[in-house]
Structure 1
C-alpha cells in the first residue's frame, strides 16, 4: 500500500522547512491556527505530523509499505489522537469519523503521487518537489 511518510529529502528548498520527526514515519494532518498563513511562523498549514512521535515535517515522500492497511493507519492515528487528548473533547463516534475521513484523504493523496515522490503541503494542496541535482 502507498503511504505518505516523513522525509528530510529536499529540506532547505524553502527557508521555512523543518523536519523534526523520524524518517519514514507515517504522517497525518496537524491542527491549524486560526488565520495562519501557509508560510506563517507556526507552520501548521504546511506541515504534517508523525503518527508515532507527534513531531512535524514539511517534507514527505510516498513509499510502498506491504504491511500497511487502512486499518493499521487508523489504529496509529487513533493512538496519536488519544495521546493528544482528543478523546476528552470528542465522543467515540466523532473521533472515529475524523479518523476515517483523515485516513481516506491520506490514502487518496498517497495514491495520487508516484512512489518516491517528494511532496510538500501548501494549505489544502500537495505538490511534488523537484530534488536538487
Structure 2
C-alpha cells in the first residue's frame, strides 16, 4: 500500500476516541501521520502538534474528527495545503466546506477512515 501522509485533525490520547484509533490504524498501515490537537500528547509513535503543518509536509489526506461548528478555523489552512482529499468522518460532515474543497479540485468524501483502512480502500 502506498504511504499516504495523513493529517488527523482532532487527535486525542483517549484510546476509545475514533481519532486515536485512526492514528493507530494509519501507522499499522505504514502511513505517515501528522496529528493536530489543542492539547499535546502522543499516540503510537506520533507526537501531537498544535499548529498547522506547512505545504512542505506534502499532506495527501486530511481526516476530520472535529464537528462542523469547529471547522471554520481549518478551512483556509486545509485549502492552502491542497491535499488530494479530505475525509469527513461520521459526525463531521459539512456540505459548505465540501463544496469549497471541490471547487479547488480537492476530493471531499464522507466516509470512515477506519473502515477505508480495514477494507483496503484507503
Per the normalisation by structure 1, the TM-score is 0.29
Per the normalisation by structure 2, the TM-score is 0.30
Q: Whose relative contact order is higher, 1 or 2, with alpha carbons under 8 Å and at least 6 apart?
A: 1
Q: Which has the higher helix share?
A: 2
